[in-house]
Structure 1
Amino acid sequence: MSESQAVVSTTSGSRYINRLCKHWQHKLDVSHDEHQGRVTFDGGVCHMRAEAGALHLQLTAEDAAIRERLEEVVAVHLKRMASREELDIVWQPGVA
């Protein structure tokens, strides 16, 4: 297994989780509530958790190549959902 995490500074974490999960629920296994979400991709899982001032992302994948691809997928979609806010998404190895 290969894991990574990112903490994104934003006050809109709950809104982004909601938008991402609704976007992906038509194709993927998704669960979410007001403050957290889980998306199961082919080969990996992304957990999202909103706190005051931050959105925490955690990826677990079958291997490093899949993890890197999923990091890019999540980042691109998150930036698209946050079109009015410039997000700095920096993935770090390991788990919070």
Structure 2
Amino acid sequence: MPQSSHSQIATGQAARIAKRLLNHWKHKFDVSESETLLQIFMPTAEIQLSPDTAHLNVAIIATTPDADLPRLEQVVLDHLIRMGQEELSAEWLRSE
């Protein structure tokens, strides 16, 4: 069963930073975009971004056993901070 990590990150610009992150990474990874979900397909995990008015819901789903969730959580958060140019924090909930 794949491991995953989820967080609800408080921000008033969830849609904007999700779109910027998708555009930033689409040159490196396959991506998919619908009205409610943006997906980034990394070699070891799938990143799902689902913006709403006050939060950006983020899911990191391991697709291989060697996915390093703690590292991916930090990479995603660091990039979201860069994209939004605001301080963001995330409490990640992991599940098996």
TM-score scaled by length of structure 1: 0.87
After superposition, where does 1:1-96 map in structure 2 within 5 Å? 1-61=2-62, 62-63=64-65, 66-83=68-85, 85-94=86-95
Secondary structure in 2 matching 1:19:
helix
Distance 1:68 1:86 in 2: 19
Secondary structure in 2 matching 1:70:
helix
Distance 1:23 1:38 in 2: 12
Unaligned runs of 5+ in 1: none
Secondary structure in 1 matching 2:68:
helix
Partner deviation per Cα, 1:15-43 (whole Å, 9 max, x = no partner): 01110000000010111245421001111
Asked if structure 1 preserves the Cα contact closer than 8 Å seen for 2:8 and 2:91, the reply is yes
Instruction: Compute the displacement of 1:48 (Å).
Output: 0.5
Q: For the structure 1 residues 92 and 40, does the alpha-carbon distance in structure 2 shift closer, same or farther, using more than 3 Å as the test?
A: same
The alignment-based identity, stated in percent, is 31
| Structure 1 vs Structure 2 CA RMSD | 1.8
Q: For the structure 1 residues 64 and 57, does the alpha-carbon distance in structure 2 shift closer, same or farther, using more than 3 Å as the test?
A: farther
- Report the count of equivalent residues: 94
Asked if structure 1 preserves the Cα contact closer than 8 Å seen for 2:5 and 2:94, the reply is yes
Runs of 4+ deviating beyond 6 Å: none
